[in-house]
């Protein structure tokens, strides 16, 4: 749960440190959408290493099953469930599955898609497709699971934004519009849900090497060099570079952190 009990007049009782430490997730059930590959999978594996039980959701069934098997080999519970976040029926099935397991403590919205085009070439259909997954899908999953978080007395919601949540991006005006919406949704939800002991934050990854970004980062040698020259860390990120931020935001260590967008980009946004 996100908050300690009140001591009176808005002053909280001293924060209780879990027996396993501030980053211990033992006994917590975490739902991760987009868990089959990339950043979502890395987050799920990190949560499992810190003791969490996982409900893994993705439309990529074969890869999702492999992710679940890998986590189960480490001795943690991992329940795979096919989920297309655009499908109201799939979202209802997710809610029923999680309720049958006993409820949820942490919701991680990592499902997302990208589209790249010059603003002069973009189509309204591109925005519609991006919006359905990146905004409506995230909203649908969160709203559907919210009653369970409230019933359990609090929890964490972690959304995945992007550099497009905080900066303009080349050839991604429509994509950035959806990720900007994720930022505003995150911060507005934090205001509404604090009274329920729920922390709402987002992670904004920079240029991370995944299957979804491979063509953009590697196909054009000049672009690759130009991008790398701007990153103070001198390299693109890996999904594993996101793990620390996810665990922090899911764990008791961040119980007084809400409404924040944590940028994990190797320093790109500083330049």
Secondary structure class of 263 (helix, strand, coil)? strand
Strands 261-264 and 198-205: what pairing? parallel
The encoded tokens of residue 245 equal 């931020």
Is the separation of the CB atoms in 13 and 5 below 8 Å?
yes
Give the count of beta carbons closer than 10 Å to the beta carbon of residue 209.
Answer: 16
CA 200 to CA 106: how far, in whole Å? 10
DSSP state of 210: S
Give the span between the Cα atoms of 221 and 215, in whole angstroms: 11
Give yes or no: 207 in active site: no
Residue 51 phi/psi, 5-degree rounding, is 105, 0
DSSP letter for 134, please.
I
Task: Determine which one of 139, 175, 185, 207 is catalytic.
Answer: 175
Catalytic residue list: 175
């Amino acid at each position: 749960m996100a908050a300690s009990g009140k001591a009176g007049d808005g002053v909280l009782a001293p924060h209780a440190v879990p027996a396993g430490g501030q980053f211990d997730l033992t006994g917590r059930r975490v739902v991760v959408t987009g868990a089959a590959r990339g950043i979502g999978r890395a987050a799920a594996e990190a949560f499992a290493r810190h003791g969490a039980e996982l409900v893994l959701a993705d439309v990529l069934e074969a890869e999702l099953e492999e992710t679940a098997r890998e986590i189960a080999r480490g001795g943690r519970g991992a329940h795979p469930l096919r989920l297309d976040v655009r499908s109201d029926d799939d979202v209802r099935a997710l809610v029923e599955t999680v309720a049958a397991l006993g409820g949820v403590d942490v919701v991680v919205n990592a499902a997302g898609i990208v589209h790249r085009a010059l603003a002069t070439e973009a189509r309204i259909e591109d925005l519609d497709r991006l919006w359905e997954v990146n905004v409506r899908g995230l909203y649908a999953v969160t709203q559907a699971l919210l009653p369970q978080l409230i019933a359990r007395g609090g929890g964490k919601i972690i959304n995945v934004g992007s550099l497009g949540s905080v900066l303009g991006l080349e050839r991604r005006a429509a994509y950035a519009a959806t990720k900007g919406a994720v930022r505003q949704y995150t911060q507005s939800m934090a205001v509404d849900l604090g009274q329920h002991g729920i922390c709402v934050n987002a992670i904004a990854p920079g240029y991370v090497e995944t299957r979804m970004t491979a063509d953009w980062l590697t196909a054009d040698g000049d672009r690759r060099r130009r991008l790398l020259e701007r990153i103070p860390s001198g390299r693109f990120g890996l999904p594993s570079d996101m793990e620390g931020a996810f665990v922090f935001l899911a764990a008791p260590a961040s119980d007084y952190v809400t409404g924040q967008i944590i940028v994990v980009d190797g320093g790109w946004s500083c330049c």
